[in-house]
Amino acid sequence: MGAMKILAGNSNRALTEAIAAYLGVPLTKCQVRRFADMEIFVEIQENVRGQDAFIVQSTSYPANDHLMEMLIMIDALRRASARRITSVIPYFGYARQDRKPGPRTPISAKLVANLITRAGADRVLTVDLHAGQIQGFFDIPTDNLFSAPVFVREIRERLELNHIMVVSPDVGGVIRARALAKRIDAPLAIVDKRRERAGESEVMNIIGDVAGKACILIDDIVDSGGTLCNAADALLREGAREVYAYITHGVLSGGAVARIAASRLKELVITDTIQSTEAIRVSNNIRTVSIAPLIGEAIARIAKEESVSSLFD
């Protein structure tokens, strides 16, 4: 580990410190600040020549600021002759714009991938991409970690497995939900969402028998929280005993925290890929678990040229 450098952007310093502590490596001294006009200035304050550098930076709110910080940090490391630069992006923003949903719309996930590559990154490490095909947007090696092992451990420690039903909140998330259901040997249900007309609430049908079950909603992102709360109501109407949600990235924008606090969700569990706000920290039914050991182990394996995929065997 002697040739490894861990650098923190401003998006989630607490997570970066936890990763560094797991690895037993001190954070590299690095100044990331603003000029008076809010331009970003970066200075790497240690020698990184010939070393393996890992920048930990989620592109969470404010997404554009954090993205620019990362790009400038990559450029600074490249000009300082780092041997290899890995951009560790626990939460990859713009991932929801991964295709053209209509005419004259961008594929912003591809644009961001191009920016990171052209800035000089040699490798990308991220967690639970919104769509798996985004890995193909990068022309450099990209490792997509899964939060499933973290959630499986939590579920086994806290819930009775013989009464659990894993639920995908939409048809698109079935693969993710099925993978977790297989790990804990639980049945799978699906929430089928349909909007009858623009501006009206979604009509939800449940595929699967959830009566008497403790239902676990699995997804990669919770943003406004509306779909999650509606899904919980639909499951409880169908006889579910209680509803939990395990979501990797807690974006939780706008009034999402208040919406979830007032909902019928028993508990929302998120990881720390995005730094929690004070509202999240004091919420009665939102709990955060750390993804730092998983990311730290992946970084260690990359540094030692070992398999990362074997983490999920």
Q: What are the catalytic residues? A: 193
Residue among 29, 25, 56 nearest 43 (CA): 29
CB count, 10 Å around CB of 118?
Answer: 12
- 313 assigned to a ligand binding site: no
How many angstroms separate the CA atoms of 130 and 127, rounded? 9
Q: Are 269 and 151 in contact (CB under 8 A)?
A: yes
- 225 assigned to a ligand binding site: yes
Collapse the DSSP code of 253 into the 3-class scheme (helix H, G, I; strand E, B; otherwise coil) and give the result. Answer: coil
- 224 assigned to a ligand binding site: yes
- 39 assigned to a ligand binding site: yes
In angstroms, the Cα distances linking 79 to 3, 72, 221 are 17, 11, 35
86 φ/ψ angles, rounded to the nearest 5 degrees: -110, 125
Question: In residues, how long is the chain?
Answer: 313
- 33 assigned to a ligand binding site: no
How many angstroms separate the CA atoms of 26 and 19, rounded? 10
Q: Roughly how many angstroms between the first and final C-alpha of the chain, as a whole number?
A: 25
Residue among 31, 116, 27, 15 nearest 67 (CA): 116
- 226 assigned to a ligand binding site: yes
- 276 assigned to a ligand binding site: no
- 195 assigned to a ligand binding site: yes
- 37 assigned to a ligand binding site: yes
Q: Which residues have CB under 8 Å from 200's CB, separation 6+? A: none
- Dig out the tokens for 151 from the structure: 């959630």
Show binding-site residues for ATP.
Answer: 37-39, 96-97
Show binding-site residues for D-ribose 5-phosphate.
Answer: 195, 219, 223-227
Show binding-site residues.
Answer: 37-39, 96-97, 130, 170, 195, 219, 223-227
Show binding-site residues for Mg(2+).
Answer: 130, 170
